[in-house]
Amino acid sequence: MSLTGSEKPQRKTRIQRANEQKILEAALDVFSRNGFRGSTIDQISEAAGMSKPNLLYYFKSKQAIHETLLARLLESWLDPMKELDPEGDPLEEILNYVRRKIEMTRDFPRESRLFANEIIQGAPRIKPILEGEINALLETKAKIMTKWMDEGKIKRVDPKHLIFSIWATTQHYADFDVQVRLVLGENIDNPDQFEKTKAYLENLFTSLLKID
């Protein structure tokens, strides 16, 4: 028994690190396709290439994997918004935010769906985190936008609804991928289609905000 008290205080082994990685990668795949209740530990352990008890050696429960995944996700999910710079050119700052958002949608569609699944079902597991972090950040950024509007740098709109519409329009391409593909034949993982989508969204938000 170690003197440090906690359960697993040791530094991580090579194997431990590798296997936790494999599990989280597999779990992201499975959870984002099937939702929490629609996913089984067997599916995940199979996808991770190990036995179920072995998976449970690294994560004590299905919940634990899911929580780890969501925690990591939330961390990176808000990054694009954090970069919104009050000193930059207002319209360009917002467009850059849109661009970063749609790049994330292209590069991390599974993360987007994992998040969407969680929110649609009432965010049972991440409401507290959402409540604190997102709200604070959003409040700050909304204030910046309001200041820009006061200064006449961009047109006046409700900043929170603006942010909602940026989230909605960008994430739509990941979350409703099947539908988009059914209509367009492809989605933003295709470079050509990515450019078209980006151009459309840049135009959408420029039209809304640009002062003539």
**Site residues for DNA per CB under 7 A:** 10, 13-16, 19, 39-42, 50-54, 56-57, 60-63
CB 19 within 8 A of CB 58: yes
Q: Tell me which of a copy of itself, DNA, none is bound by residue 71, counting a contact when its beta carbon lies within the kind-specific cut-off of 5 to 8 angstroms.
A: none
203 is a site residue for a copy of itself (CB under 8 A)? yes
Q: Tell me which of a copy of itself, DNA, none is bound by residue 207, counting a contact when its beta carbon lies within the kind-specific cut-off of 5 to 8 angstroms.
A: a copy of itself
Dist CA 176 CA 194 (whole Å): 15
Dist CA 12 CA 15 (whole Å): 8
37 is a site residue for a copy of itself (CB under 8 A)? yes
Residues between 179 and 198 that touch a copy of itself (CB under 8 A): 179-180, 182-184, 196-197
Residue 140 in tokens: 């700050």
Letter for the amino acid at 52? K
Q: Tell me which of a copy of itself, DNA, none is bound by residue 187, counting a contact when its beta carbon lies within the kind-specific cut-off of 5 to 8 angstroms.
A: none
Q: Tell me which of DNA, a copy of itself, none is bound by residue 131, counting a contact when its beta carbon lies within the kind-specific cut-off of 5 to 8 angstroms.
A: a copy of itself
CB 200 within 8 A of CB 210: no
CB 100 within 8 A of CB 83: yes
Q: Is 69 exposed, middle or buried (0-12, 13-18, 19+ CB in 10 A)?
A: buried
Torsion sign (Cα): 172, 178, 183, 186 = positive
43 is a site residue for a copy of itself (CB under 8 A)? no
* Contacting positions for a copy of itself (CB under 8 A): 33-38, 113, 116-117, 119-123, 127, 130-131, 134-135, 138, 155, 157-158, 160-162, 164-165, 167-169, 171-173, 175-176, 178-180, 182-184, 196-197, 200-201, 203-204, 207-208
